[in-house]
Amino acid sequence: MAALETMVRMGELAVSSAPGHKLVSLGLGSCIGLALLDRRMGIAGLAHIVLPQSQGHAQDNPRKFADLAIPEMLSELEGIGAHRIRLEAVLVGGAAMFAVAAAGLEVGQRNEEAVRDILRSVRIPVVATATGGTRGRTIRVDVASSEVTVREAGGKDSELLAGSRTLEVAA
């Protein structure tokens, strides 16, 4: 079954409610791929977060920062019918790619902490993670079923969060 895949690249985010649609971030290193899922509505969002805090930097692209990307993704998800109370989070990435970290390269860990802090403050539970370590990862989110798969370099896709079909018909 060929699914339509939307690539969510560095500093980008996407939301979708289209059946058969997948949101994908290829080769996450220190960045975090944050998936937010409304399983009942078959709605999903994916943000490819680069840095933890904007620290007041006025930027052309606020979506690369955890503190600005997450509120924006929430409002976009709600805009297409997701309910905040039902959202579940999946985190992938945040690796330390280089064993001898040059200055600033330990950013992966700081990214994960920042994302977890923000999710806690908006009361969204983290239901699955593949984070830390030293390997890069690819995340795929199936919008309709909320299935999330992850793949490491040299490996195969493995299921991180099982998908489920929504039987309710949206009113």
Partner 1 sequence: MSQYTELQLDALRELANIGSGTASTALSGLLGRPVDISVPKAEALPFAEAVEAAGDAEAEITGIVLGLIGDMNGTVLLLVPPPDADKLCRMLGVEPDDEFALSALGEIGNIVGSSYINALASMTGMEIEPTPPATATDFLGAIVETVLAGAAMNGDVALMLDSNLVVEREDCSISFLLVPDQGGVDLLLSRLGLA
Provide the minimum distance between the beta carbon of 59 and partner 1 in the complex, in angstroms, as a whole number. 6
Q: Are the beta carbons of 116 and 16 closer than 8 angstroms? A: no
Is 42 an interacting residue with respect to partner 1 (CB under 8 A)?
no
Is 95 an interacting residue with respect to partner 1 (CB under 8 A)?
yes
Known catalytic residue: 31?
yes
Long-range pairs for 160-168: beta carbons < 8 A, 24 or more residues apart? 160/90, 160/92, 160/128, 160/129, 160/130, 161/37, 161/88, 161/90, 161/127, 161/128, 164/39, 166/39, 166/40, 166/41, 166/42, 168/40
Exactly one of 1, 103, 167, 170 binds partner 1 (CB under 8 A); which one?
A: 103
Provide the minimum distance between the beta carbon of 69 and partner 1 in the complex, in angstroms, as a whole number. 13
Is 51 an interacting residue with respect to partner 1 (CB under 8 A)?
yes
Nearer to partner 1, 51 or 115 (CB): 51
Count of alpha carbons within 13 angstroms of residue 92, beta-carbon side: 28
Exactly one of 23, 31, 90, 143 binds partner 1 (CB under 8 A); which one?
A: 31
Candidates 14, 15, 23, 31; catalytic one: 31
Chain position carrying tokens 């690369």: 64
CA separation for the pair 115, 44 (Å, rounded): 17
Catalytic residues: 31
The binding site for partner 1 (CB under 8 A) comprises 9-12, 26-31, 50-51, 55, 57, 59-61, 64, 95, 97-105, 107-108, 134-138, 153-154
